[in-house]
Amino acid sequence: MSDPLARLREAVPSRFEALVSGVRFGQFVSVGVIGALCDTTVLVVLTEVFGVLPEIATIVGIETAILVMFAVNDNWTFDADGEHRSLGRRLLRSHAVRAGGSTTQFVVFVVVYRLLFAPLSFAGVDLWLLVAKAGGIGVGMMVNYVFESLFTWQVHQGD
């Protein structure tokens, strides 16, 4: 009788194994925290200090976070996986791939902020903005992890 774990390893495609790598996912989440801080800071500063419409501010925050997270992911999380393609191609591919996660994040933000709005503030700061942003970031992060892993850095190619 063969080992069930060995049979499972043989049956699971290398793409899935690469996706469920605990180390890689931990790195991706760590980078995501950095991106979320950048994204949220841009949102709060633009809306609360400069009076920018929250939907516009969240788009600027998302783009800022994409650039920061790409740089960190490219040099840490996926540093050995993207070497066979140019930096410019990886950046363009990252933007294209993140379009799904970014759109998801934006839609969740708008739905929570505009349709599920609950007045919540502290020291004059609209905290509901942060609730909506956190919801969007959480859902968008899962979409981004799967698509970035499979398409930007193609983690399965070396397996």
- pTM as predicted: 0.72
pLDDT of residue 159: 46
Q: Which residues of the chain are modeled with pLDDT < 50?
A: 1, 159
Q: Would you state the pLDDT for residue 6?
A: 63
Note whether 31 and 69 are within 8 A (CB). Answer: yes
What's the pLDDT at 45? Answer: 96
The domain segmentation of the chain, as residue ranges, is: 24-152
Per-residue model confidence (pLDDT) at position 61: 97
Contact 63, 109 (CB under 8 A): no
Within 34-148, strands assigned E span: 121-122, 125-126
Closest alpha carbon to 151 in 96, 73, 86: 96
pLDDT at 143: 83
